[in-house]
A and B are shown apart, each in its own frame.
Chain A
Amino acid sequence: MSALIVRVQSEALTALGARARAALVEEPMADAGGRAVKLLLVEHFTELNEERHRAGGEHFYADAARSVQNPETTGGQATIAIDKIGLAQRLFGGTIRAINGKYLAIPVEGTDAVGKVPADFTNLQFFKTKRGGGLKLKRAVASVVGHVRTGKNKGKSRNEADIIGDVVLFWLVPSVDQDADPTVLPADEEMQSVAYDAMDQFLTRRLASNN
């Protein structure tokens, strides 16, 4: 899959790497730094899940936390992959276009549509809008309940569905422009800092044990 790949680099880390190379512990030191960044990512996604989770929807950031992999180390550099589809889209932003059909179906927040797809409903009705359309739930009850005396329908009988109003479950749009959101990941400086601390501690301990 296309995973989001995080590689943490800085001059300070390069300098530590040179010391580790000399002590023949370059790979395990990079592993320790990468694992520290993994922990930071897990904690970051845990916080985002607390802040941004919407009732009824997928725990997106919790799943991102579970998808952070162990660092892969090569040449003293640690690479961390996050196998969560949609995470790169949130980070970099960009346009999402409907490919398989004419429209993207966007569930309306606060309705039963969150976490579902249009095919999960059997009684949706299409209506057109300027940008595309929508899918509304046609209420089953349509008995005449009386006279409405306001607005342009004044004096006319209306059924209950009209009075209550249909419930829009999905908006249909041909594309969505999503802004980039750099807060999806911790700041570079923070990742560099935790990597440096973990690598420095590892190297200090390893050199002390060699003495």
Chain B
Amino acid sequence: MIAVEPMPFSEAVKALAEKNLLADYMTSADIRALDAALKNQSFFSAQTTDEYLLKLYQDRIGGLLNPVRVSGAATTEYSPAYVARAIKDFLASVNYAPAPEDAGTIKDLGSDARVSLVLQTNKQLAQGQGNWLQSQRAGVLDSFPADELFRLEERAKKRDWLARWRLAGEQTDDPIGTGWTITPALRLIALKNHDIWNWIGSSELFDDALDVIWPPFAFNSGMWVKDVSRATCEEIGLLDKGEAAPEPANIVSAIESFSNKISKFAEEVAA
């Protein structure tokens, strides 16, 4: 049966609402250098100091995730194009002007590329976190013990995710085929909560990474994750028949573990 009823993606909305606004003169590289635990609680846009603008972004993205629509009312304000327009209108109202050399580039707060990147990245981070939280249930982990990293959106220029997957896998203590794998058809699959998810979105390995354990793992990425069934996991050797599924993870400890891992890695590299 198909119906239309009120049902918000509450985990995603909550994930977004709980983020603190991080207003500062930080570049994307500076933001990546932040401790991951802090960053996961922060809504960010590089070099955006105006808290009102960040709040406007947060509210509008909240509207995209959970449009509270009155029956018969227009849905215009939930269109990404109109949300982008509202951001640009605010910038115009405060007479924002980019430095001449930045006009039209990603550094220009009012450029199409910049507004679109901020909207898209933060909305997808909230969706990714919401999906991650919804997966941490024993029943889900038992029936769908693994995730597949796959291309959801095409890009003109694609990153080499196969190479990234190998590199991320090599950081774990597990050889390929144990906990994570690449199938003959080049599917990138790993058990949920496996260590590889701590590395695939880590800026210690990849400059453009967002330092998160859920998608999107990198700026403007077209990749996402989807469930892999127990039957497939057994077929490709990630689990033995009837083997116990991964344990549900707690978000606080998962982020702490991720953060500690990155710090340890950075210390080792520095040494």
Contact = CB atoms under 8 A, between A and B. Distances in A.
Given A67-B127, A83-B66, A202-B143, A117 B74 contact: no
A100 B73 CA distance: 9
Interface centre among A1, A49, A58, A81 (most CB of B within 10 A): A1
A27 to B, nearest CB: 8
A59 interface: yes
Nearest to A113: B81
Contact of A3 (B6, B82, B137, B230): B6
A39 interface: yes
Contacts of B204: none
A2 B5 contact: yes
A49 B150 CA distance: 13
Interface residues of B, number: 53
A69 B7 contact: yes
Contacts of B81: 58, 115-117, 120
Interface stretch (A85-93, A132-140, A143-151): A85-93
A56 B2 CA distance: 31
Nearest to B126: A66
Interface in B7-35: 7-9
A169 interface: no
A58 B119 CA distance: 12
Contact of B82 (A6, A83, A117): A117
A119 B85 contact: yes
Contact of B139 (A32, A65, A208): A32
B75 interface: yes
Contact of B153 (A7, A59, A201): A59
Given A6-B2, A198-B143, A62 B80 contact: no
Contacts of A32: 139, 142-143
B85 A120 contact: yes
Contacts of A39: 144, 226-227, 229
A9 B1 contact: yes
A85 B9 CA distance: 12
B154 interface: yes
Contacts of A24: none
A5 B8 CA distance: 11
B152 A5 contact: no
B46 interface: no
B224 A117 contact: no
13 contacts: A2-B4, A3-B4, A5-B4, A35-B143, A39-B144, A62-B224, A66-B152, A69-B134, A70-B131, A81-B5, A116-B81, A201-B230, A205-B230
Given A66-B131, A69-B9, 9 more contacts: A3-B6, A6-B2, A9-B1, A32-B139, A49-B153, A70-B135, A85-B69, A198-B229, A209-B242
Interface of A: 1-9, 27-28, 31-32, 35-36, 38-39, 42-43, 46, 49-50, 53, 58-59, 62, 65-67, 69-70, 72, 79, 81, 83, 85-86, 88, 91, 99-100, 115-117, 119-120, 185, 198, 201-202, 205, 208-209
Nearest 7 CB-CB pairings of A with B: A70-B134, A81-B7, A32-B143, A28-B139, A99-B74, A3-B7, A31-B139
Interface of B: 1-9, 65-69, 72-76, 78-82, 85, 88-89, 124, 127-128, 130-131, 134-135, 137-140, 142-144, 150, 152-154, 222, 224, 226-227, 229-231, 242
